Amino acid sequence: MPALAPPVATIRVAVRRALTGLPAGGPVLVACSGGADSLALAAATAFVAPRLGRSAGLVTVDHGLQGGSAERAAAVAAWAEGIGLAPVECVRVEVAGRPGGPEAAARAARYEALVAAARRHEAAALLTGHTRDDQAETVLLALARGAGPRGLAGMPARRDADGVPLLRPLLGVGREQTRSACEVLGLAPWEDPHNRDPSYARSRIRADVLPTLVRALGPGVVDNLARTARQVAADNAVLDQLAGEALGGARHTGGGLRVEALTSLPSALRGRVLHCWARELGAPPAALSHRHVAALDALVTEWRGQGAAYLPGGLRVVRRAGRLVAVGC
Ligand SMILES: Nc1ncnc2c1ncn2[C@@H]1O[C@H](COP(=O)(O)OP(=O)(O)OP(=O)(O)O)[C@@H](O)[C@H]1O
C-alpha cells in the first residue's frame, strides 16, 4: 500500500485528536466554505469520524454577496454528499441590514446559521477550518490593535457557541498543508476574493505583513506566533480564575464592590476583576474596551470625591460609601 501523503495524514491526525473524547450522540458538522482549509477539514472528517463510530455532516453558508455564491455553495454540498457526509446543508443568509461593517455582518450571520444548523441536527460539535496561519494573523492583528492579553490569546481550539461546542482542529496545521492535502486528494478549492481584498486589514496581514516577517525572521515566525497565543491563553485561564475568586472576595453584601478589597489587588488582577464585573452588570463584551476598564480603575485608584465611569449598555458606575455601585444613567 502506498504511504499516505504527509499533509493528508497530518490533517487526519489533527481531526482524530479533536474528535476523540467528544460525547457520543449526534453528528459532528463541518463548516465548509469550499476554501482549501475547510475542504481539507471536511475530507479528513469524512474519513476519520466513521472510524471513531460517529457520523459527520457539513454545512455551507451562502452569504449572497458575490455572483455565483449560490452555485459555489451547491457545488460544495454536492461534493459533500458524494463523499458520504450526512447531513449536508446549504444555508442562505441575509447579511444586509445587520449592524457593523460588511465583514462583521457576514461573520455574525454565518455563525448564527452554523450554530442553528448544529442545534437542528443535535450535533456533538461544529468544526471550522481555521489554521495555524489564521492564528498567527489573529495574533498580529491583536498586537497591532493593542487588544491586550485577551486578544493575544488568539482563537481557542475549543469554545462554547450558544451551547454548541465549536472546535478548530487545524489550529496546529499550516495553510500550506491544507493546500497540499487538497492537491493530493484532487480537490479544487474555491478562492474567496475577500481573502485578497486589500481593503481588509487581515488580507494585508496575510499578503504583506506575515510574508515580510517570515523573510526577515525566518520560517518559524508563524509557528512562534501561534505558540505565543497558546501560552497567553494558558496564562489567561489562570488569571481569570484568580480574578473570579478576587471578584467574589470584593463583593459587598449590600451590592457593588468594596473599594478596599479592590485597592489591595495587583493592578493586572484588578483590571480583570473590573472587566468581569462590568460584563456582569450587562455591558456588552464586544463594546467593552480597555478605556472603560481604565475608567473603573480610576474610580478605585484616583478618586477625588466625585466622577463616574460610563460603560457601554447605558451603565454608569460611581463610588459611594467605600463601594463601586452601578446607578441609572
Ligand atoms: N461560507 C461559509 N460556509 C461555511 N463555513 C464557512 C464559510 N466561510 C467560512 N467558514 C468557516 O470558517 C472558517 C474560517 O473562514 P475564513 O473565511 O475566516 O478563513 P479561510 O482561511 O478563508 O478558510 P477557508 O479556506 O476554509 O475558506 C472556515 O475554515 C470555515 O470552517
- CATH code: domain of residue 271: 3.30.465.60
Domain co-membership, 274 together with 146? no
Give the residue numbers spanning the domain of 307.
251-327
Does any ligand 1 atom lie closer than 6 A to the CB of residue 129? yes
Global pTM reads 0.90
- CATH code: domain of residue 192: 3.40.50.620
Q: Ligand 1 test: best mutation among 32, 33, 159, 167, most atoms within 8 Å of CB?
A: 33
Residue 180 within any structural domain of the chain:
yes
Domain co-membership, 178 together with 265? no
The tally of domains found in the chain comes to 2
Domain co-membership, 132 together with 15? yes
Return the residue matching grid coordinates 478605556: 291
**Three-state SS at 86:** coil
* pLDDT tens profile 56-76: 999 999 998 888 899 999 999
* pLDDT tens profile 73-82: 999 999 999 9
Domain co-membership, 264 together with 153? no
Q: Which of 136, 300, 163 minimizes the C-alpha distance to 222?
A: 136
Residue 239 within any structural domain of the chain:
no
Does any ligand 1 atom lie closer than 6 A to the CB of residue 130? yes
ipTM above 0.95, yes or no: no
Domain co-membership, 152 together with 67? yes
Q: Per-residue pLDDT averaged across 116-122, rounded? A: 97
Does any ligand 1 atom lie closer than 6 A to the CB of residue 110? yes
Q: Which of 228, 230, 221, 167 minimizes the C-alpha distance to 38?
A: 167
Does any ligand 1 atom lie closer than 6 A to the CB of residue 45? no
Residue 187 within any structural domain of the chain:
yes
CA distances from 114 to 146, 245, 260 (A): 30, 35, 46
Domain co-membership, 28 together with 117? yes
Is 52:46 a contact under the CB 8 Å cutoff?
no
Distance CA 206, CA 163 (A): 32
Strand partners of residue 125: 28
Residue 245 within any structural domain of the chain:
no
Of the candidates 221, 243, 277, which is a domain's last residue?
A: 221
